[in-house]
A = this chain, B = another copy of it.
Amino acid sequence: MPKANLADRVFLTADSEETPQHVACLATFIIPDDAPGDYVRRLADRLRAQATFASPFNYRLRRVALRKVAPTWQIVPDDQIDIDYHFRHSALPAPGGERELGVLISRLHSRPLDPTRPLWEYHLIEGLDRNRFALYFKVHHALIDGVGGVKRMQQTLTSDPRSDEAPALWTIGPRVRNPRAAANAARGQRIRRAMRATREGALTAAGLAKAAVRLVALAQRNSESDVAVPFVAPQSVINRRIGRQRRVATQLIEFDLVRQIASASGVKINDVFLAACAGGLRRYLHELDALPDKSLTAGTPVNIRIDGDDTTTNAFSMVVVKLGTEIADPLVRLRAIARSNDAAKDELRRLPKTLQKLYPSLFMAPFVGQNLVGIGGRTNPPYNVSISNVPGPLEPKYLAGARMEAMYPLALLYHGVGLFVALFAASGRLGVGFVGDRDGLPHLQRLAVYTGDAMDELADAVGVTARALTR
């Protein structure tokens, strides 16, 4: 029987009605022009027929009642898994635009998984306008993380537009031989490391405390410092206790536009993305009459693979970046963000290498801890908004002849940080997925639209003439 490791335990323990611990990815595909009218239904039938289940898609909690204190998994035989429960064929009402898709995905993403069954759902959604369909894949973070889910979804795709292959996601196991290693590989890789760091962080708390003290001292010495200080984020409508319901919104941005802006302004691509998010947030919060005077801060993962090591271990850390949301001028804001991002990474590099990988625990440990003991959202959050950027393949990918238009990662929320913006680069485009607390953040699609507008503003400011994307 597979044992629940620390990451499983953290995500199962943190599960609550308000903070269900699932992640998801949403992808849209363009149906080939010459496809028959029942293309999606045929695809549904082909997927549904693949009722064999690789790990962890066949893992079930052995005793649901004990999931928070002593979780154990059992492997369910294929013939006892109800494929019609996990695989769902849905449809959008007319006109089947981004609004209707957002409404449906908001509902799907709000709903906790059934803990008595394997913890995943896969939705094939027809009726999307411009001859498209969508996939929404949702999985518990104890089984697989967002990046893992995105990777697994990528494995169902091909670069060949003429191939009509459509392997079902749940049939694809981890690509390793040792079944025990396979089971481990299937689970949360990046975030699991962050969580392991949380535990290890406790053992090296002294080292981290020193880093924290240094950060605070730095910020106090100069209140105009570019270094954002964790837990000194301004309060905002984003940073409250959250409810059970979510809003999901999406935005699609041409990768080439972002590349051009970065090149013209001499900053990194990620800085441009952060600046567009900042511009969108500034306008969105201003309209809600809820824009703080001080800059919002973003918690964002960084790659710290510096020693040529090709393994996936120890390659993830986290920085807090000032978003410059108090700055009106888009270019001034972009430069401020780039400076803050650089400064935060410099600070990170000043840490001993062994501590760099533990750095996320500086934020994560109390953050997760607060949620576990129920005070999340009642104290200072570590930062205002989570923003993550996952690179993917830029060449076009296909599923059964349908070209993937975009893939949007959809993350989870904790009390205290009611907004997660995540980006996935695929097929030459950046798919940006916004997940927000429904009650705290009304009209979230506006934030998505404003983020696209902010990218256009940046393009204007640096003299690039392309547009983010017509939606």
Q: Is A88 an interface residue (CB 8 A)?
A: yes
Fill in one digit per residue for A223-250: 1 if any B CB lies within 8 Å of its CB, else 0: 0000000000000000000011100000
| Copies of this subunit | 2
Whether a CB of chain B sits under 8 angstroms from the CB of A448 is no
Q: How far does the Cβ of A245 sit from chain B's closest Cβ, in whole Å?
A: 7
Q: Is A34 an interface residue, CB under 8 A from the partner?
A: no
B244 and A114 within 8 A (CB): yes
Contact between chains at A85 and B126 (CB < 8 Å): no
Give chain A interface residues in 18-37, CB to chain B under 8 Å.
none
Say whether, besides A91-B127, A127-B91, A127-B93, A82 and B438 are in contact (CB < 8 Å): yes
From the candidates B94, B104, B116, name the one contacting A126 in the complex (CB within 8 A).
B94
Q: Mark A94-136, 1 if CB is under 8 A from B, else 0.
A: 1100001001100100010010100000000011000000000
1/0 per position for A71-98, CB-CB distance to B under 8 A?
Answer: 0000000000010110011111111000
Give the residues in chain B near A100, CB-CB below 8 Å.
89
Across the two chains, which residue of chain B brings its CB closest to A41? B94
Which residues 32-64 of A sit at the B interface, judged by CB distance below 8 A? 38, 40-41, 44
A111: which B residues are within 8 A, CB to CB?
111
Query: Hey, which chain B residues are within 8 Å of A82, CB to CB?
Result: 438-439
Q: Provide the residues of chain B in CB contact with A245, threshold 8 Å.
A: 85, 114
Residues of chain B lying within 8 A (CB to CB) of residue A89: 93, 100, 103
Assess whether A88 is in contact with B114, with CB atoms less than 8 Å apart. no
Question: Would A91 and B88 be within 8 Å (CB), given that A111-B111, A243-B116, A244-B116 are in contact?
Answer: no
Closest to A64 in B: B17
- Residue of B whose beta carbon sits closest to that of A92: B91
Set of chain B residues within 8 Å of A90, measured between Cβ atoms: 91, 93, 104
Closest to A114 in B: B244
Rank and list the top 7 A-B pairs by shortest CB-CB distance, nearest first. A91-B91, A91-B93, A89-B93, A93-B126, A114-B244, A91-B92, A91-B127
Enumerate 7 A-B pairs (CB-CB under 8 Å) in ascending A order: A40-B94, A44-B93, A89-B103, A91-B127, A93-B126, A111-B111, A116-B244
Residues of A within 8 A of B (CB): 38, 40-41, 44, 82, 84-85, 88-95, 100, 103-104, 107, 111, 114, 116, 126-127, 243-245, 438-439
Given contacts A89-B103, A93-B126, 13 further A-B contacts (CB under 8 A): A38-B94, A40-B93, A41-B94, A44-B93, A85-B438, A89-B93, A90-B93, A91-B92, A91-B93, A93-B127, A94-B126, A114-B244, A114-B245
